[in-house]
Amino acid sequence: MVKIMDLRRNGYLILLLVLLGGDYEVGVKGENNVVFNVKHKFGGRGKSVLKDLKDHDARRHGRMLAAADFQLGGNGSPTGAALYFTKLSIGTPSKDYHVQVDTGSDLFWVNCARCLRCPTKSKLGIDLVQYDLQASTTGKSITCEQDVCSAMFNADSSECKVGKPCEYLVTYGDGSSTGGYFVKDNIYLDQVSGDYKTSSLQGTVAFGCSSQQSGDLGTSTNAVDGIIGFGEANSSVISQLAAAGTVKKMFAHCLDGVKGGGIFAIGQVVEPKVNSAPLVPNRAHYTVSLKDIEVGREVLDIPTSLFESKSSKKAIIDSGTTLVYLPSKAYNALMNKLMSKQPQLKTHHLDGDFDCFIYSGNVDDGFPAVTFQFVGNLSLTAYPHDYLFQVRDNEWCIGWQEGTQGKDGNEIYLLGDLLLSNKLVLYDLEKQTIGWTQYDCSSSIKVKDETSGNVYTVGAHKISSASNLDSRMAFTFFLSIISFLCFLLN
């Protein structure tokens, strides 16, 4: 789980995999490097997980892409849950909480004591914990007259009056919702203090205290204690911490699609070097301009309408989505080109959503790589072993999916972990760029301490699975963090 805590003073980079939200009082000087462990909710590749992956993406897209309101006495733009979760500590005395991590979210919230319809059990092998404001000696409520309520959470409604709690209500596109009020309390992180070394780091942040839930959020058997996002809004942890001069608005993740686990970092990554492209401005999600799709070395011929052009193609980069979703015209052109390489193969449907086939050879020899070309000379390549899932002996299914709509009703390009795994992805929100490079995510990266100029090595991690973890969740994903603060939640 990635959480971002803006714990920046005196120029130390904080490497975090957790996000914080709201009014914060940073009790640490410098831009500190913080490390977090992250775990993937789903695992392995096989028939048992295909439906889970598609169902997860469908629920997520209903939340992430809907034109829903984030109400704090005003309006906001909520986004949905992620595939990854991490553990962080909150309050005094501190308690551990497991929260979902999402690069497309802006708010951080956790389930609170006496919450209505909040989940109490999880199949993820974790004990769910509810935050109790009264049980923490450092916890404080946020009321309407406080600057953080209006400035950070846009609570400008006449209904938000002096002395009343600063409330929120997030309604997602799939009909689920979470509502409650904002509080602030201490959060505890692992600060990077040397090569593969950490020390304790404490900060104070504002976050949502969920007092009621509905829909999938309240009934999911794969529940966690909350959500933490990595978005750009003022309410996000990384934005808050950066505004306070605690951290730079930069973070990176490296998802190990081979061994599981990986790296999640906040701050300046020194090694490896990463090529970047500009983010499309004024978008709710991290979006880049897509030029072409190549199959092998051939540019895919995607039919365009009178109102479409190559320059109009935009692609959302989202680590919370598992598969890759393409507009119908692009999907059909891609599938036709791929299957033309093996004309003798006959496909069949599995779980109603996946095209599958029987093949006994080496898929990397029999099928071409698929490369997405972006502006700025940036590309993302998926090799056959990336986009083909082996569900049983000699039976393979194709991970490309057709059609996902944005909030304007148009089909979009949505690029998830099928493309992002085994790559270091760097988000530089100060320069408004995003970049990536092929990388061994089970290894390590180097991050810079801005105050001292020292460069530290941060290695990959993996949260161990609990003994009662469902087998189809066994693919434990980890993310260790590097040089910046953990990111925000919605």
User: Is residue 487 a part of any domain in this protein?
Assistant: no
Taking the C-alpha atoms of residue 119 and residue 114, their distance in angstroms, rounded to an integer, is: 11
* The pLDDT value given to residue 157: 62
DSSP-assigned letter for residue 272 = S
Please, what is the Cα angle at 58 between 52 and 64, to 5 degrees? 130
User: Is residue 474 a part of any domain in this protein?
Assistant: no
Over residues 326-340, mean pLDDT: 92
Residue 356 near residue 348 (C-beta atoms within 8 A):
yes
Taking the C-alpha atoms of residue 168 and residue 207, their distance in angstroms, rounded to an integer, is: 10
User: Is residue 77 a part of any domain in this protein?
Assistant: yes
Q: What percent of the chain has pLDDT over 90?
A: 31
Are 391 and 352 within one domain? Answer: yes
Least confident residue range of 66-80, 347-361, 475-489: 66-80
- Which of 218, 230, 189 has the alpha carbon at shortest distance from 320? 230
* The pLDDT value given to residue 277: 94
Given a cut of 90, whether residue 333 has pLDDT beyond it is yes
Q: Which residue has the higher pLDDT, 403 or 31?
A: 403
Over residues 457-462, mean pLDDT: 78
Least confident residue range of 35-39, 453-457, 462-466: 462-466
* Active-site residue, 449 included: no
Residue 108 near residue 99 (C-beta atoms within 8 A):
yes
Residue 279 near residue 288 (C-beta atoms within 8 A):
yes
Percent helix, strand and coil across the chain, each rounded to 5? 15, 35, 50
* The pLDDT value given to residue 201: 67
- Other CB atoms within 10 Å distance of the CB of residue 71: 20
* The pLDDT value given to residue 91: 96
- Other CB atoms within 10 Å distance of the CB of residue 199: 12
Look at residues 438, 463, 484 and tell me which one is the last residue of a structural domain.
Answer: 438
Are 143 and 258 within one domain? Answer: yes
Are 255 and 359 within one domain? Answer: no
Over residues 372-384, mean pLDDT: 93
Given a cut of 50, whether residue 19 has pLDDT beyond it is no
* The pLDDT value given to residue 404: 67
Given a cut of 80, whether residue 83 has pLDDT beyond it is no
* The pLDDT value given to residue 35: 58
* The pLDDT value given to residue 2: 30
Residue 94 CA, chain-centre distance (Å), reads: 25
Structural domain including 308 reads 273-438
Highest mean pLDDT among 174-188, 189-203, 245-259: 174-188
* The pLDDT value given to residue 462: 60
Over residues 418-432, mean pLDDT: 91
* The pLDDT value given to residue 29: 37
* The pLDDT value given to residue 156: 54
Are 98 and 168 within one domain? Answer: yes
DSSP-assigned letter for residue 150 = I
DSSP-assigned letter for residue 486 = -
User: Is residue 421 a part of any domain in this protein?
Assistant: yes
User: Is residue 453 a part of any domain in this protein?
Assistant: no
Tally the domains of the chain.
2
* The pLDDT value given to residue 424: 94
Q: Which of the residues 6, 23, 102, 355 is marked catalytic?
A: 102
* The pLDDT value given to residue 326: 93
User: Is residue 56 a part of any domain in this protein?
Assistant: no
Tell me, what CATH number does 348's domain have?
2.40.70.10
Q: Please name the residues in contact with 424: beta carbons below 8 A apart, sequence gap of 6 or more.
A: 252, 253, 254, 263, 269, 272, 274, 436, 437, 439, 441, 445
Taking the C-alpha atoms of residue 454 and residue 268, their distance in angstroms, rounded to an integer, is: 12
Look at residues 240, 266, 292 and tell me which one is the last residue of a structural domain.
Answer: 266
Are 221 and 301 within one domain? Answer: no
* The pLDDT value given to residue 56: 55
Given a cut of 50, whether residue 67 has pLDDT beyond it is no
Are 327 and 378 within one domain? Answer: yes
Are 409 and 300 within one domain? Answer: yes
* The pLDDT value given to residue 69: 22
Given a cut of 70, whether residue 68 has pLDDT beyond it is no
Given a cut of 80, whether residue 280 has pLDDT beyond it is yes
- Which of 383, 396, 387, 388 has the alpha carbon at shortest distance from 350? 396
Given a cut of 90, whether residue 279 has pLDDT beyond it is yes
Taking the C-alpha atoms of residue 309 and residue 96, their distance in angstroms, rounded to an integer, is: 50
What is the tens place of the pLDDT at every residue in 341-374? 899 999 898 876 788 999 999 999 999 999 999 9
Over residues 299-316, mean pLDDT: 74
For the chain, give the mean pLDDT. 74
Are 282 and 246 within one domain? Answer: no
User: Is residue 207 a part of any domain in this protein?
Assistant: yes
Q: Which residue has the higher pLDDT, 156 or 422?
A: 422
Highest mean pLDDT among 67-71, 184-188, 449-453: 184-188
Are 162 and 210 within one domain? Answer: yes
Q: Supply 171's token pair.
A: 């309604």
* Active-site residue, 301 included: no
Q: Please name the residues in contact with 434: beta carbons below 8 A apart, sequence gap of 6 or more.
A: 276, 277, 279, 286, 288, 317, 425, 426, 427, 428
Are 181 and 66 within one domain? Answer: yes
Q: Which residue has the higher pLDDT, 74 or 227?
A: 227
* The pLDDT value given to residue 263: 82
Over residues 267-295, mean pLDDT: 92
Are 232 and 284 within one domain? Answer: no
Q: Which residue has the higher pLDDT, 473 or 339?
A: 339
Given a cut of 70, whether residue 307 has pLDDT beyond it is no
User: Is residue 235 a part of any domain in this protein?
Assistant: yes
CA separation, residue 298 to residues 281, 292, 335, 377, 379 (Å): 30, 10, 14, 17, 14
* DSSP string computed for 340-393: HTSTT---EEETTTEEEEE--S-HHHHS--EEEEETTTEEEEE-HHHHEEEEET
Given a cut of 50, whether residue 483 has pLDDT beyond it is no
Q: Which of the residues 190, 318, 449, 470 is marked catalytic?
A: 318
